[in-house]
Amino acid sequence: MTVWNRFAGLASAVALSIALLPGAQAADVNIAVAANFTDAVKEIGTAWEKTSGLKAVFSFGATGALFTQISQGAPFEVFLSADQATVTKAGAEGHAVASTQYTYAIGKLVLFSKNKDAVKGEQTLKDAKFDKISIAAPNAAPYGAAAVETMKALGVYEKLRPKIVEGQNITQAYQFVETGNAEVGFIALSQIVTNTDGSRWLVDQKYYTPIKQDAVLTKKGESAAAARDFLAFLRGPEAKAVKEKFGYAAD
C-alpha cells in the first residue's frame, strides 16, 4: 500500500468517525454514498432539504468500503451504491431492507486526460503511449471493475497492468489524473461532465457491464421516515433532472 493510500484511508476513517460522533452534526438522515455520485447527491440533497425541512449528512467512499462499514454497524440509514450486487448482498445478509432496493442511476465510464491530445478513443489504450493509467480499485469500486472489463475486452489488460495505479475509489482515481500521477485514467462521466478541458473517450458500453447503481434503506433506516422520504425524492423529477445534468442515465 502506498503512503498516499494509507493517508487517504486514515483520512476517510477519521472523517467518518467525526461525522458519526453524537452531536457532531445534526442530521435527520445519514446516507452512505458511492464516491462517483458525490456532486450529484450534494445538489439533490440541497433540494431535498429545502422541500422537506430536514437535514442530510453524506459520507462518501468506495462501494465495497461503505458496505463493510454498514455490515459492521455504522449508523447509515440509506445506502447509495455504485452497483446492484452490493445492495443485493446487503439485503441478503440482513443489513438492508431488500424490498426498498431500486436503481437510482446508470453510470457511464470515461477515459480522461488533462492533455487535450492524449485520448483518441480506444486506440489510446492499444497504443499505450503513457507511463501510468489510473483506475479505482476494482475489488471495491464498480467503476474500477468496469475499467478492467474494458481493458480485457480490448485485449490490452495484460499489457497495461504494469502501468495501472489504483485509487481507493473513483474520486482518488480522478485525483491521480488531476495531479499528474497518471497521464490518463478511467473515471465516471459525472466527474467531468461540466469540464471542457483535456481529452476524453466515452467508453462504448458494449465493453463493460452496465453500471446500474442501486439504492436501499439499511436496517437502521427501516423505521426512519426521513430516510424513506429521501429515497422517494431521489426517484422524483427534480432529482432526475440533476442526475441527467451530471451524465447519468435513468433505468
The CA distance from 218 to 101, in Å, is 10
Mean pLDDT of 73-92: 97
CATH number assigned to the domain with residue range 3-106+210-245, chosen from the 4 options 2.40.50.140, 3.40.640.10, 3.40.190.10, 3.50.50.60: 3.40.190.10
**Mean pLDDT value of segment 211-228:** 97
Q: Where in the chain is the domain with CATH 3.40.190.10?
A: 3-106+210-245, 108-207
Q: How far apart are CA 55 and CA 20, in angstroms?
A: 14
Region of residue 2 (phi > 0: left; psi between -120 and 50: alpha; otherwise: beta)? beta
pLDDT, residue 244, reads 95
Check if the beta carbon of residue 165 is closer than 8 Å to that of residue 215.
Answer: no
**37 vs 21, 46, 53, 155, 188, CA distance in Å?**
24, 14, 23, 29, 9
Cell (9 digits) for 34: 458511492
Confidence grade of residue 210 (pLDDT, cut at 50, 70, 90):
very high
Average the pLDDT over each of 1-5, 116-120, 224-228, 238-242 and give the range with the smallest value: 1-5
Q: Report which secondary-structure segment, H or E, holds 160.
A: helix 157-160
Owner of C-alpha cell 429521501: 230
Q: What is the pLDDT of residues 134-193, one digit of tens each?
A: 999 999 899 999 999 999 999 999 999 999 999 999 999 999 999 999 999 999 999 999
Residue 76: predicted pLDDT: 98
Give the amino acid at 120.
Answer: K
Of 1.10.579.10, 3.40.50.11740, 3.40.190.10, 3.40.50.720, the CATH number of 108-207 is 3.40.190.10
Alpha-carbon distance of 99 to 87, in angstroms, equals: 11
pLDDT at 212: 96
How many residues can be counted in the chain? 251
